[in-house]
Structure 1
Amino acid sequence: MHTTTFQGEFVAFRELEETLVTRLENVIKELKTTPNDIDPATNFWTVYNQVADEHDGDMLGKYSGDLDTSLLFAGLFSAISTAFIVQIIPSLQPNPSDLTNALLLRILQQNKSFGGSDPLAPVMNVSPTVLRAQSILFASLSVNLFAAFIAVLGKQWILYYKRASTWGSVVDRGKERQVKFTGLQKWGLHFIMELLPVLLQLALLLFGIGIIAYLWDIDRSAAEVIMVSVYTGFAFYAGIAVAATIWNDCPFQTPLSVFLLKAFPWAKKTTGCLFVGLSTMTWGNRSDVYPLMIDNLEPLCHLPCNRCMLML
């Protein structure tokens, strides 16, 4: 009795095992498709979209973060600069006390002469320094608002670029993305993104100069303190920009250094060879060190270096 039950269970188990094996083999056959079964174009664009999505995610994330930072800085800076401009605007209007004094003087003249007189013109005695400071501050605010406007447009450009991966087939999405990425490089979107910090820094510099111009006649000591701070900051920024332009290993990279490198590509090459020559002349003849050093540094200079000249 028990033997018959055991044999029945064994047969049922074998049938279940065969069924599972058959299903597994069918699944493996479906997965193991031959290369002829896959469209080469579809396979290529599938891999392309995967790599492109990873690349675009990093790139657009960086752009989006930079734009958010620029918008935040532009908003705070606009509030501060507007407050200063509002304080200076009354200086551009006629002084009520001066107008009252002019009216009293005209009445006195009329009483003495009992004759007609021309209508009294508004009295306005604005210092040229105030006008100059107001112009610089307005220029600073205008540059800052222009940078904020570009940042808002940049957010819209990013959203438009992302639409390439949301519609159509795999091939269509890949082709559309490639067209947009090529256009992104052709039309210099990266240059515009790098230009935003430069505009904000320019607005900050103009703001500092405007404050110095406004305080120059009011409080010379305060103006000199601010002038030292502004000029020190500008000298530091210019120094690290030039250093980053000359040396590749300089960690203080700025958008200005990128622009300088594009405008003066010969600076890095010429400076590299110059430092090789100066170092060689300073350390003296070291035949065991300098041939190896020159062999390693000469390709970096991209200029023909004379070994005999450097070894003098």
Structure 2
Amino acid sequence: PDNDESAGAKIWTLYISEAEKYDKALVERWKTEMEGILIFAGLFSACLAAFIIESYRSLSPDQGQLTVMLLAQISHQMAASSGQNGSAFELPTLRPMQASAGGTALACNIMWFTSLFLSLSCAFMATLVEQWARDFIQATEMRPSPIIRARIFSYLYYGVKRFSMHSVVELIPLLLHASLLLFFASLVAFLHPVNAIITQLAVAFSSIILAIYVTLTILPTLYSDCPYRTSLSTVFWRLRQGIWVLVAKCSSPHIMADPDEESSVPRCSQPPGDKSTMIEVMAHHATQETAERDDRDQRALVWTVKSLAANDELEPFVEGISAVLWDSNGGRKLYDERIKALVHHPQVLLASRIEGLLKDCNGGLLPAGVAARRQISSLKALWAIARLSI
């Protein structure tokens, strides 16, 4: 059995290679995100603590007001003991405005302390995620045997999925966002008894920030190519998908039965399935056969050739031209128009670039083997391009 296990080492080595591309990239991304969150949460908590120190005083009794009340009471008692009419002395009372200010101060401090608690919790959870990421990498590299490493990779990866670590990591920036929103709300409450104009400015700026946040949250749920996203985007996506499926089932059952049938819903907002993730929908729209995809492909190829300034960089691209245009059974048709567009594009002129690559082989500066390989690939590419006009 041990020999049979060892025979699969090469296969498991390939699994490790592929798993490392995804798992290590994911873990490194988590570590980078947590480092940024730790820095921001630390600075934000320090700033928030300064506001709390200033606002906390409003929860304590006003010592000046207490002194006035005590002096008035002493005067009242002295007047009564001397035989004067004590009814002429009345204890000062709090004004209604002062009572309402106390309620505002209480709400302000509650929101600020909650914001500080969320910020510190976010920093604490970020340190835990960094530790979990280090433990994951260490556990997958501690054994030299590829079979054992592969099984550890698989075991830990499915453990990450089982315990929903992705959701825990996504929760951390959500806590920080909630802390920021509470900070802005408490800032408005703090400025309310101070000055009406400053309060209105704070409300205006806070409303603008909230509107931007809501927009950035909703946009990726409507357009799969939108680069903006917040921690709540996934929640809105699931909610929107559920509503879309429910409406489609109730209003047009045939749409759900035949997904290839055209509907009145815009293509950018149609999910391929009711359980698809945002990444899956993005990949579906990116690879779907449309005129927009062909245009993107053409622009990408133009940019690629323009960026390959040196002949050494252009050579791998030239080697692939004959393969995409011709095979053993004859010509391919998929890339014909795209290669023609590269040949006639004024900023690319692919045929001229290939001729320059071919002439470079005659300079005597290249090793014989490299020059021969470059000549063959250039001639094959020029022949394939020439066959397009036949």
Q: Structure 2 matches for 1:138-153, cutoff 5 A?
A: 138-153=113-128
Aligned counterparts of 2:186 and 2:56: Cα–Cα separation in 1? 13
Q: Which residue of 1 aligns with 2:60?
A: 93
1:194 to 142, 166, 170: 170
Contact 1:244 1:257 in 2 (8 A): yes
Q: Which moved more, 1:239-248 or 1:154-163?
A: 239-248
**1:276-291 mapped onto 2 (5 Å cutoff):** none
Q: Which position in structure 1 is the counterpart of 2:215?
A: 239
Partner of 2:343: none
C-alpha contact (below 8 Å) 1:74/1:148 kept by paired residues:
yes
What's the offset of the Cα at 1:213? 0.7
1:110 counterpart residue number: 77
What amino acid is the match of 2:240?
A: F
Displacement of 1:253 in angstroms is 2.3
Distance 2:230 2:56 in 1: 35
Q: Counterpart of 2:379?
A: none
221-230 vs 245-254, which moves further: 245-254
Q: Distance in 1 between matches of 2:237 and 2:208?
A: 23
Task: Tell whether the 8 Å contact from 1:244 to 1:253 is kept in structure 2 after alignment.
Answer: yes
Counterpart of 2:256? Answer: none
Kept after mapping to 2: 8 A contact 1:241/1:253: yes
1:212 to 185, 188, 198: 188
Structure 2: how far apart are the matches of 1:251 and 1:211? Answer: 31
Alignment partner of 1:69 is 2:69: no
Q: In 2, distance between residues paired with 1:148 and 1:38?
A: 44
Check conservation: 1:195, 1:255, Cα contact below 8 A.
Answer: yes
- How far is 1:150 from its partner? 0.9
- What is the CA–CA distance in structure 2 between the aligned matches of 1:270 and 1:237, rounded to whole Å? 27
Q: What do residues 250-303 of structure 1 show as CA deviations (whole Å, max 9, x unaligned)?
A: 22222211121123323566899xxxxxxxxxxxxxxxxxx9998x95995659
Residues 223, 268 of structure 2: 8 Å contact kept: no
What is the CA–CA distance in structure 1 between the aligned matches of 2:271 and 2:130, rounded to whole Å?
40
- Distance, in Å, in 2 between the alignment partners of 1:262 and 1:149 is 28
Of the three residues 103, 109, 112, the one matched with 1:137 is 112
- Any idea what the Cα deviations from partners look like across 1:59-91, whole Å, max 9, x if unmatched? 111111110111111011101111111111122
Instruction: Provide the C-alpha distance between the structure 2 equivalents of 1:246 and 1:130, rounded to a whole number of angstroms.
Output: 41
Indicate conservation of the 8 Å contact 2:224/2:268, yes or no.
no
Go from structure 1 to structure 2 and tell me whether the alpha carbon gap of 1:299 and 1:67 turns closer, same or farther (over 3 Å shift). Answer: closer
2:303 is aligned to none
Q: TM-score, normalised by structure 2?
A: 0.56
Q: Distance in 1 between matches of 2:190 and 2:269?
A: 53
Aligned to 1:251: 227
Give the equivalent residue in structure 2 for 1:46. 13
Q: Which has the higher contact order (CA 8 A, sep 6+)?
A: 1
Letter in 1 for 2:200: E
Match 1:80 to one of 28, 40, 47:
47
Question: How much does 1:138 deviate?
Answer: 0.9
Unaligned 5+ runs, structure 2? 83-93, 249-260, 274-390
Deviation, 1:147, is: 1.0
In the other structure, the counterpart of 1:173 is 149
Among 44, 58, 61, which residue is 2:25 paired with? 58
For 2:110, the aligned partner's letter is S
Once the 2 structures are TM-superposed, how far is the Cα of residue 41 of structure 1 from its aligned partner? 2.5
Please tell me whether the aligned partners of residues 143 and 200 of structure 1 are also in contact (alpha carbons under 8 angstroms).
yes
Higher radius of gyration, 1 or 2: 1
Residue equivalent to 2:134 = 159
Q: CA deviation at 1:112?
A: 2.8
Q: Which AA in structure 1 matches 2:62?
A: N
The alpha-carbon distance between structure 1 residues 91 and 292, as it changes in their structure 2 partners (threshold 3 A), is closer
Amino acid at match of 2:150: G
String of CA shifts for 1:101-125, please: whole Å, max 9, x gaps. 122122112223349xxxxxxx997
TM-score, L = length of structure 1: 0.69
Task: Write the distance in 1 (CA, Å) between the matches of 2:115 and 2:11.
Answer: 51
Residue pair 1:245, 1:268 contacting (<8 A) in 2 also: no
Query: What does 1:266-305 align with in structure 2 at a 5 Å threshold?
Result: 266-267=242-243, 297=267, 300=270
Match of 1:223 among 191, 196, 199: 199
Q: Is the 8 A contact 2:241 2:271 kept in 1?
A: no
In structure 1, C-alpha distance between the alignment counterparts of 2:8 and 2:218, rounded to whole Å:
48
Distance 1:174 1:97, change over 3 A: same
What is the CA–CA distance in structure 1 between the aligned matches of 2:120 and 2:211, rounded to whole Å? 25
